[in-house]
């Protein structure tokens, strides 16, 4: 069974064994939100398992295909968002760009959930208001932990390496569950994964209906 298939079927066991990093650079095009500066929509996507390097499996994000999963972007000094049917099937995955001080907010709006990637955890509510009732809010400390281990591992950036936290949200057992993988990446446009790390005791962050 592939790492991605294992994660869909049994996320708790799979996330203890695997680390994932989403890559939407070539396969997914976001859409600017009208009348909202630095805000972009994501949308339905297809996830394909790419290469595993240094224990990190790259998830290739693309438009088209089966499009049963969802992607919402990181936007520099802005907000990325996507609407997802609240009644999505178990195994549905929602992914975003890597986080490093950003916030995740999920609201319930009628039959949909709206997922927001809030850059620097400070632009949602300023550039764009959250739409609906908040059902999940993940602050940087929730996935970075109290010690910010990622920052220590890259020596403050002196090595040219960087760190990110890949949040993955999956529908499992009728609930949406949020997990995080800490990844060290090397310099360059390809963002080569060098290793994974665990910033908190468990990769499980929270769950919501």
User: What is the model's pLDDT at position 118?
Assistant: 98
pTM: 0.96
User: What is the model's pLDDT at position 159?
Assistant: 80
CA distance 124 to 79: 6
- Beta-strand ranges (E) seen in the chain are 19-23, 31-32, 39-41, 43-53, 56-62, 69-72, 79-85, 93-96, 103-109, 112-118, 133-138, 162-172, 175-185, 193-197, 204-208
Copy the structure tokens of residue 184.
Answer: 């060290």
Burial-class residue 164 by CB neighbours within 10 Å (0-12, 13-18, 19+): buried
Mean pLDDT of 2-29: 96
Band (pLDDT 50/70/90 cuts) for residue 182 is very high
The length of the chain in residues reads 209
Residue 155 pLDDT greater than 90, yes or no: no
Mean pLDDT of 2-24: 98
Band (pLDDT 50/70/90 cuts) for residue 43 is very high
- Per DSSP, helices labelled H in the chain are 3-9, 11-17, 140-144, 149-153
Band (pLDDT 50/70/90 cuts) for residue 165 is very high
For 63-119, how does the pLDDT look when each residue is reduced to its tens digit (9 = 90+)? 988 889 999 999 999 999 999 999 999 999 999 999 999 999 999 999 999 999 999
Residue 52 pLDDT greater than 80, yes or no: yes
């Amino acid at each position: 069974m592939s790492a991605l298939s294992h994660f869909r079927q049994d996320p708790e066991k799979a996330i203890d064994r695997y680390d994932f990093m989403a890559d939407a650079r070539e396969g997914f095009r976001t859409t600017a939100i009208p009348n909202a500066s630095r805000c972009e929509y994501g949308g339905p996507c297809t996830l394909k398992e790419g290469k595993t390097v240094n224990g990190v499996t790259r998830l290739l994000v693309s438009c088209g295909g089966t499009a049963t999963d969802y992607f919402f972007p990181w936007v520099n000094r802005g907000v990325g968002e996507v609407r997802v049917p609240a009644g999505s099937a178990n195994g549905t995955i929602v992914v975003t760009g890597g986080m490093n001080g950003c916030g995740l907010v999920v609201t319930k709006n009628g039959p949909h959930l709206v997922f927001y990637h809030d850059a620097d955890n400070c632009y949602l509510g300023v550039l764009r208001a959250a739409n609906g009732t908040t059902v999940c809010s993940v602050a940087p400390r929730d996935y970075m932990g109290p010690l910010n281990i990622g920052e220590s591992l890259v020596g403050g950036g002196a090595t040219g390496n960087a760190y990110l936290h890949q949040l993955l949200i999956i529908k499992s057992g009728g609930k949406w569950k949020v997990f995080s993988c800490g990844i060290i990446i090397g310099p360059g446009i390809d963002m080569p994964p060098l290793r994974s790390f665990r910033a908190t005791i468990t990769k499980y962050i929270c769950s919501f209906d």
